[in-house]
Structure 1
Amino acid sequence: MLYLTSAVLGAALCCFAYLGLRARWVDGSLDDYVTARNSQTASTLGLSFLASGMGAWILFAPPEIGAFVGPLALAGYALGSALPFIVLGLYGPKIRRALPEGRSIAEFAEACYGQGVRRWVTLVSVGYMACFLAAELTAIGAITALLSDVPPPLVIIGVALTTLIYTAMGGLRASLATDRWQAWLLLALLLAVGSVTLWRLPTMPNEAALPSIPVANALSVALTLVIAVTAANLFHQGYWQRVWAARDDQSLGRGAWLGGGMTVVVVMMIGGLGMLAAMSGAPLGNPPMPFFALLSNAPIWLTLPALVLAVTLVASSVDTLQNGIASLVVARSEKRGVSLTTARWVTVALMIPVVVIALQGLSVLRLFLIADLLCAAIVVPVLLGLWQRMTPVAAIAGGVAGLLGAILPGWLSQGSIITGVVAASFPGSIPTLGPFVGALAASTLVSVLLAMVTKKR
């Protein structure tokens, strides 16, 4: 079975590489490499938003939330996963008109506030996406160990190298081309694996009930997830690239709504499997992994498609992240005389530390939460950039206030600033609402107040 599994996964990765390399524009410019400007239809963008946003995380987090917190928190997670696409769909046309030759969230920040804010936004965005990359590659290693005898490092390196080949050569066009096929593949595999998993569920006991916690707690978890996921994903450069890749404003809006709608359906569907697993009384494992618990002792004809599904999910998000990070780093390279070849080597170089971290098998959930919180602290000041009263001072002060607001709830409740800092670093990797609300409220309040009292630009 080892050789069969390795052959199937290798074939899938080779197909992705072929599709990506076939889509590259050999004579394209650096601008086309990082934006594929004004070239993509609504359907391509919708499938790309779905594929690039869906990673291996959907096989872990939504089923666990569904199994232990219930449908209300799961709905919050689904909404939070889709909301960044909707925000960019609504806000994107204004960004395109204000910055028609733009390439990144960092350039948008510079156009609004100057170089200082651009560097800050770039740092936060690259840090978040690096955490995302490490998490995805770590996850595929863990899934490989659960479902097969293939050595996890082999799959981690295989996915990283394959996606690197076609993204380094083809840029954003290669990522968009593979996203389209990967989206249809993951929908088909998810439907097939989910259907068979439902068929293998234990008989539902008469006293079965939906998992639930007190409504106030469920709402708190749901709101935390909406804020964390939305704020962080608005710093996902891969999504911002698609703002300028859209053929026109209508294509961007329709693509965003299509991708957001499909994302909600996918997250609710996979999370529903977790709820059904908990209701059936099936052993969920320790640590609990409801989706994979349903695959325990499953035959090879079921575990193999599930593993291909996981590889597809990881590849579709990793290639977007690779190209997104590279585009941030080389966004102004043409002005400095840097070539397209250099941009490709930047893509390769950025992956080396990420793969090294992924091979350690560490838990990156806490890092993810910290990165989410950093994004939440500055997302409002950045998005207020098109408001004519906003100034660089108001934006920077709002971001600093957001960081202080994140530690304020723990500081006030425990009476110590050190305790507040520790609480904002999410000990135990447990998401809590206080730091996120504090970050959003403080950054918004200070930004708006300073913008109102300082000189209009």
Structure 2
Amino acid sequence: MFYLTVAVLSAALLGFAVLGLRARRADGLLDDYVTARNSQSAQAIGLSFLASGMGAWILFAPPEIGAFVGPVALAGYAVGSALPFLVLGFYGPAIRKRLPAGRSIGEFAEACYGAGVRRWVSMVSVAYMACFLAAELTAIGAIAALLSDVPPALVVLGVALVTLIYTSVGGLRASLATDRWQAWLLLALLLLVGGVAWYWLPSMPTEAVMPSVPVGSALSVALTLVIAVTAANLFHQGYWQRVWAAETDRALGRGAVLGGVSTFLVVMAIGGLGMLAAMYALPLGEPPIPFFALLSAAPAWLALPALVLAVTLVASSVDTLQNAIASMAVASSGRRGLSVRAARWATVILMVPVVWVALQGFSVLRLFLIADLLCAAIVVPVLLGLWRRMSPLAAVAGGLAGLLGAVLPGWVSQGSFTAGALAASFPDSIPTLAPFLGALLASSLVSLLIAWLYPGARAQEAAGRP
């Protein structure tokens, strides 16, 4: 079984590499390497949003939320996962018009507010994507240990190296090409694994009830997840690349709807399997892993397609993140620019610490939550950059207010700034609503207030003022 597993995983990764390398452009232009500008249809954009947004996280988080909190919170998670695509689909045409030669969220921030805000936005984006990368590679190592006899380090290194090869050579086109196939493959494998696991379940206990918590608690969890996941994913540079990769504004809008709806359905379906595991009273493990608890009642052969599913999920998100980090390095180089070769080496170098973290098996959930909170504190000021009245002062003041708003709930309830800051760092690695809601509301209100009182230069020019 060991050799069969290695052979199947190797074949899957080799297939992804062939698809990615075939998609590369021979001319090797840097702009095409990081944007594939105006080249992708609505279907390609939609499938790419689905594949790049999925990852091994969907085998852990949605089933656990479904099993312990119930359908309301699960729906919040699904909405939060899908909403960034819809936001970019709605704002994308205005972003493309304002920045037709753009390549990154950092460049958008600079066009609206200047170089200082760009550095802060770029730093948050890279930190979030690095956490995402480390989490995905850590997860595939854990899944390999759970489902096979293959050494986890071998699987982690295999996924990291193969995706790095085709993304560093082929750029964004390689990621987009593999996304199309990976999207269909992961949907087929989800149907296979979920369907077989469901078929082999015994009769449902007569006392089974759907997991649920009080409505207020469920809504609180749902709102927390919507804010955290949406805000963080709007700083995912891989998604911003697809704004400029779309053939037209229409293709972007339709692709965003396709990606958003399919993502919502996939998250709800995989979370529903977690609810089934709880309703059948299966041993969920410690820490709980409801999706894999379902596999314990299924035939042993199902472990192999489940592992291929996990590798597909991780590869589809990792290749997007690798190229996204490379594009941030290119965009951050300013007017001097980078060569394609330099962009490739930047990707390789940035992957070294990420792979090292993944091989240690650390828990990155707390880092993820902190990164999510930083994103929530500045996402509204960044998106308001399309409004004429916004200015660098309003954006910076809004971002600082967002950080203070994240600390304020704990500060008020516990009586000290230190306690508030500690609460906003999620010491128990549990997402709570107060810091996220405080960050979002404070940043929004202060940005709007400053912009209204002290409008930016664009608003003054439109009004004919000096």
**TM-score, with structure 1 as normaliser:** 0.99
Instruction: Indicate the residue corresponding to 1:105 in structure 2.
Output: 105
Instruction: Indicate the residue corresponding to 1:176 in structure 2.
Output: 176
Instruction: Indicate the residue corresponding to 2:461 in structure 1.
Output: none
With over 3 angstroms needed to count, the CA separation of the structure-2 counterparts of 1:222 and 1:334, relative to structure 1, is closer
Instruction: Indicate the residue corresponding to 1:425 in structure 2.
Output: 425
Calculate the aligned-residue CA RMSD, in Å.
Answer: 0.9
SS of the residue corresponding to residue 362 of structure 1 reads coil
* TM-superposition CA deviations, 1:228-286 (whole Å, max 9, x none): 00000000000000000000000000000000000011001000000011011111111
Query: Counterpart of 1:443 in structure 2: which amino acid?
Result: S
Q: Is 1:22 equivalent to 2:10 in the alignment? A: no
Instruction: Indicate the residue corresponding to 1:74 in structure 2.
Output: 74
Instruction: Indicate the residue corresponding to 1:143 in structure 2.
Output: 143
How many Å apart are 1:456 and its aligned residue?
3.3
Aligned-pair identity in percent equals: 77
* TM-superposition CA deviations, 1:104-126 (whole Å, max 9, x none): 10000000000000000000000
What runs of 5+ residues in structure 2 fail to find an aligned partner?
458-466
> 2 CA distance for matches of 1:332 and 1:456?
25
> 2 CA distance for matches of 1:287 and 1:251?
42
Asked if structure 1 preserves the Cα contact closer than 8 Å seen for 2:196 and 2:298, the reply is: no
Instruction: Indicate the residue corresponding to 2:225 in structure 1.
Output: 225
Instruction: Indicate the residue corresponding to 1:216 in structure 2.
Output: 216
> 2 CA distance for matches of 1:370 and 1:300?
39
SS of the residue corresponding to residue 203 of structure 1 reads coil
Indicate the larger mover: 197-206 or 444-453: 197-206
Superposition pairs of residues 165-314 of structure 1, within 5 angstroms: 165-296=165-296, 298-314=298-314
Superposition pairs of residues 254-403 of structure 1, within 5 angstroms: 254-296=254-296, 298-331=298-331, 333=333, 335-336=335-336, 338-403=338-403
Instruction: Indicate the residue corresponding to 1:96 in structure 2.
Output: 96
> 2 CA distance for matches of 1:300 and 1:286?
21
> 1 CA distance for matches of 2:128 and 2:255?
24
With over 3 angstroms needed to count, the CA separation of the structure-2 counterparts of 1:129 and 1:402, relative to structure 1, is same
SS of the residue corresponding to residue 428 of structure 2 reads helix
> 2 CA distance for matches of 1:456 and 1:353?
40
* TM-superposition CA deviations, 1:37-84 (whole Å, max 9, x none): 000000000000000000000000000000000000000000000000
How many Å apart are 1:202 and its aligned residue?
2.9
> 2 CA distance for matches of 1:306 and 1:48?
21
> 1 CA distance for matches of 2:272 and 2:163?
31
> 2 CA distance for matches of 1:344 and 1:350?
10
* TM-superposition CA deviations, 1:86-120 (whole Å, max 9, x none): 00000100100111110110000000000000000
Query: Counterpart of 2:170 in structure 1: which amino acid?
Result: G
What runs of 5+ residues in structure 1 fail to find an aligned partner?
none
Asked if structure 1 preserves the Cα contact closer than 8 Å seen for 2:200 and 2:297, the reply is: no
SS of the residue corresponding to residue 25 of structure 1 reads coil
> 1 CA distance for matches of 2:91 and 2:393?
23
* TM-superposition CA deviations, 1:299-323 (whole Å, max 9, x none): 4420000000000000000000000
Q: Is 1:55 equivalent to 2:63 in the alignment? A: no
Asked if structure 2 preserves the Cα contact closer than 8 Å seen for 1:333 and 1:339, the reply is: no
> 1 CA distance for matches of 2:400 and 2:337?
34
SS of the residue corresponding to residue 202 of structure 1 reads coil
* TM-superposition CA deviations, 1:406-455 (whole Å, max 9, x none): 01000000001111011101121100000000000110111111111114
Instruction: Indicate the residue corresponding to 2:162 in structure 1.
Output: 162
Query: Counterpart of 1:54 in structure 2: which amino acid?
Result: M
* TM-superposition CA deviations, 1:10-44 (whole Å, max 9, x none): 11000000000000002131000000000000000
Q: Is 1:87 equivalent to 2:87 in the alignment? A: yes
Instruction: Indicate the residue corresponding to 2:462 in structure 1.
Output: none
Asked if structure 1 preserves the Cα contact closer than 8 Å seen for 2:201 and 2:297, the reply is: no
* TM-superposition CA deviations, 1:211-237 (whole Å, max 9, x none): 000000000000000000000000000
Query: Counterpart of 2:374 in structure 1: which amino acid?
Result: L
> 1 CA distance for matches of 2:112 and 2:222?
32
Instruction: Indicate the residue corresponding to 1:32 in structure 2.
Output: 32
SS of the residue corresponding to residue 349 of structure 1 reads helix
Instruction: Indicate the residue corresponding to 1:444 in structure 2.
Output: 444
**TM-score, with structure 2 as normaliser:** 0.97
> 1 CA distance for matches of 2:314 and 2:361?
16
